[in-house]
Structure 1
């Protein structure tokens, strides 16, 4: 089962289309626990949680930090990480010390590159699929031990999929897909081919692939596989196969499965009678909600929490359905018919200087029936934290809000809605459609 990491063991904008020039004039400024980002509401720290997994004690430490130094809330990202906002200047040493004491900072050199998403229900829902927990623990140890891996961008992403296709759909740079019988397929970016490796060697194969990417991206300014041109991506795949062989790993190129077009987040509610799954409105957990989640995990579950890439929380081992009611009463999403289902937004004003609107308040004001499509509200054209797959895009502009629908990677012509809350709400509802 997925386990909390312990020593020594923004949401970023969407990647550029494949082959698009990626020349950059500055280094990777992706925030971390040690490299804080200066936002309008204070400093921001992004705490990497591989697989979104943390123990209840670690959750307590994050809550304490949010209350002592930040705005009191835990902000979830689209990679299952946690952010602390409104931090004061000069808090870096205290922050690092407390995170390290909680086992949340196993390597200072690697803290920004521990970007790993994993199937949140792996090993929990009785599906019979392989459990990716051993891969998660192994990959994190290998990452933290690799000097070469420390050069990866804070945007580079690993995905560990137990075969259900949920996190495979998130467009990671290196993906491990579990296969029946214990083997794995290694996917590099969106390549049609994959590499078959043994389950025992899967974590090592993922690290080799990432280290090989660094060599092929050298001098290009590319931080992600999708930013490489087509020839370089083909050379990268061949290079990965060679490097796996040179490392003594059994590897065979095969035709890879099609990447799912739509992510599949865990359903809300009771899963398999032994797990609770809840959503977090706009990914922002209050201090009271966070304390309740940690207490529930400790007192009624296996002592861990799993933050999902869909800004939700899975509580393994919680078997009392009555606890779900308590989480719902606390304001968390516990069923698919909640009006918050599928609604997302960036931080907006006043937290972000680039934002043109308080999009979180606008998203809350526009709640209605559950839509057939998710919707994401953005305060500017960067669209931080937007979902994958098909979605409704709402972007604040100086002229009002642009509303468009993204399907199959293509965006329809946007409709501009002037500053009229009722008209904006109606336009968004029509774009989302309604579930039958």
Structure 2
């Protein structure tokens, strides 16, 4: 069965898995560091309360525990290897507990339950094998405590109960860790699926936008080819008959056809460039707009031409249409200026009612379309708005064609012919890059 990845070029599976594991391990270590500090606070309370306070070694071992905790914190906070730090503390934690139990009553010590926490921490940091290995170590240390610190409460029965609790803690930790990992994996799978679906939807939208622009251009060309001859014949007939009324109708019809052609695909955009097309469009909008419309063009951009012009013009059209429909503005400014590098910035600012860009609305589909147009050019689109304080839309595009982000796909299928056919089909798409294929899942 064929599957695909919509991320970057496929890394070796083991390397990717190890990277994810290290990220989770570092996060777990940072949280365990604070739990270790909390444990030190608990130890201080137990000693201060009077349990084993008469043992001189107890406070000395506690001071060593604080130093050990600070050392572990420093290693995690620094650029030290998180894996080596985790291994050191996995062994160091039960050894520290053993030292404290050794001078405070052996298995009956109030510090003995801290063994359970070391097992739970290991279960969440590592797999079940490492946790079982730590169980063996902790059980051995419990036997050592039974032999070295015997007392009234540390008979064989107490030893057996202590080992049982250690085993129970191990099992509980493994079960909880596995359950948490399964939920993390499920969430990661869903996130990947959503990311792939989003990338596919955006690629589809980019293709729809490109197809729409091509269709607009074709329709404008067809309208010109079919109507220009008829209008010319009508104008000649009106001139021959000196019919002023017909001449006026023909002239009005010609203007309507030119306006329709400019809406579909402004010819001035191809002939004279983006700035002239914007000046004509803004002048036309001023005649019917309910707001004052201002245009500011950087003199250095008067001769601006790029592959982005058509889509940039569409963004301007869509933005002004949205302002007409929703903004209720009195003043609108269109600003075309230089940006960093060989790029330009188009800003449309209004003093309308504004909105909250973080709240999705059905009417925001126009913003999505404009954003996709900008990203298809290798540019960016930013919207800033506050309810009651107007809004500003900023589009930044490179002078060149830009770098469109492609969906990268790694094909996996055990049928060679089908895999090859899919590779050829996907490779023909501009928005998709096939980075590799394999016959084994």
- Higher Cα radius of gyration: 2
Higher strand share: 1
Do they fold alike, i.e. is TM over 0.5? no
TM-score normalised by the shorter chain: which range applies? under 0.3
